[in-house]
Structure 1
Amino acid sequence: MPQPALLAHDLVRTLGDRRVLDGVSLTASPGHRIGLIGENGVGKSTLLRLLAGTDEPDAGQVVRPPDLGFLQQEAPYDAGATLADVLDDALREARADLAALERLTEQLARTAEDAPGYAALLHAYGARLEQAQEREVWDADRRAALVLDGLGLGAFGPDRALGSLSGGQRGRLALAALLIRRPTALLLDEPTNHLDDEAAAFVEEQVRALPGAVVVASHDRAFLDAVCTDLIDLDPAVEGPVRYGGNYSAYLAEKHAERERWERRWAEEQEELVALRVSARVTAHRVAPDRGPRDSEKMGYGHRAGRVQSQISRRVRNAARRLEELERSQVGEPPRPLRFASTVLAAPT
């Protein structure tokens, strides 16, 4: 089983006086593509920043790989940089892999198999070769051109200044650079913003082909359906954030059944709470006989009244105990259901 590329345990983050994330955990292994879903404000972007290390949790821990990539909603580019600068940075690790393989190949050719250090040299070559194959470094330049074309950036020359690009174009360039780079773990915040249908379909194909782990926050149902292997719902739930296996369509079916169970449990508990409160009031004020005893009844009356009062007291105690227990453990009222647009249609800018 592959080792996780990204781990988060029991993350807590408070912004101002509001706790945005409370005890969120996540494990993403190579080949896993996890979608973060929920209404605006539930903490999707906050969780991505914690995973990326651009923000720190109030509690909890994140273990991330050194070559993690993060697509933010605002591309952090210097206006004076050029397209060539971005591409050189995206291809830097692939070119470093190739240079390292060439050095190791030369060292192996000069080293006898029975020489000290040959085994370590061979192991280093094998590890670097495996990494290079995962990143498809021999195909990196061709892939870079393909990705730029797929995102509508292929017509721009290498000397094009980033300051001359629109916000949408810079966002697409940031996404292109990450798809070219192919990091061990990739975090995407609304990756289909500024994309038309054709470009969004291209990104879906590229993300599905990535060998590493992917965590994506998106309101684009079509993208989540096409890409995700798992979903984490950050909307309020009885047991907190829930991870679902499968894409968005599979999530909808399971979420619907889960919500029905939540609504049914909440309604049953509310009904029981009302009944217990009424019972406690009525039973506490109940008296046994509503008339005084005759002289001939006085001997048996005291014993009978005591027994009735004992029963009433026991019922009051039982009702109060159950009422206190239920008020302490009752589930919250289900919030309004989460709704997505069926797709995202945004013209490129």
Structure 2
Amino acid sequence: MYEITSGVVSSAQKVVIYGPEGIGKSTFAAQFPDPVFIDTEGSTKKLNIRRFPKPTSWEMLKNEVKEAMNGRLCKTLVIDTFDWAEQLCIEAICSAHQKKGIEDFGYGNGYVYEKEEIGKFLNLLQEVVDSGINVVLTAHAQMRKFEQPDELGAYDRWELKLGKKTSSQISPLVKEWADMVLFANYKTYAVAVDKDGKKFKAQGGDRVMYTTHHPCWDAKNRDGLSPEMPFEYSGIAHLFAYTQPAEMPKPVPAPTVQTAQPATRKSDEPLTDLSGFEDVAPPPIVIPEGIPKALADLMRANNVSESDIRLVVSQRNYFPYDTPITNYPDDFVQGCLIGAWEQMLPLIRENQKVPF
């Protein structure tokens, strides 16, 4: 038997904000409850916000999303921007299949791989929302000529900037996934004319956001917002006022340890009793020069040394243990180390448990 429920269900929300560059998407997103940014393009340097390191690979981006969710680090996770995140996805797919570009797959197969990977990523973001954390995706907008088959003429239409050929596959996924899609733009409310009645200058420039679908742009909401509003967070703040915050992990009190004073000894007497001395923290991971930054970032974030990787690589019979990572072929580093990091990391962890 299934239990039937009724009424409004309160939950975290999935929001997409897109518009032309410089209109203030990042500043708008920074006003959501307790945000943490994953800044994929480095555009938040002037904002006083909390942020993860800029991801240098698709795997690093996914790891940061999981860390925000599992650590309950925020009430809102912002990916700024999603079209730059898409480029990390494409790079990962091309590296995994040893292709120079997405077009090299032929017959649109590359875009099929991308659609599948983006779909998995949106499922991961859904897990973030299910954990009680809002997710905000910002994106740039692009204008293209649109023609309806049953209508005469054509008109300009604003869309999510997710690549000219991928927009027909990726944009629908993102729009369907979102609870709210907001299109921000500068409003032109008048056009000046000269003495002969010819139009020559647009007037206006107010920043507005559109919340419902229009032939000239994509937008939607499920909260009864006005179709056009000032591009200010105060207009939607009430929708997030009652969002249940993600529970922060309760700190575990450290056990009280009685520290004994080391006994006095003669200068020539060997020190055999180490009681009373505090444990020394392990040294930080040293990343050799020449290792690609995307791999170095993953190693540093997961406390993985070069020897850890070389051990797994030798166990899989790819290269001898004494082969430095800098001597690995680039396609192996990009496809088998960075691209398959999630599959390799458990093998590294197993080796780290074994005393050598």
TM-score, normalization by structure 2 = 0.29
Structure with higher Rg: it is 1
Higher relative contact order (CA 8 A, sep 6+): 1
- TM-score, normalising length: structure 1: 0.30
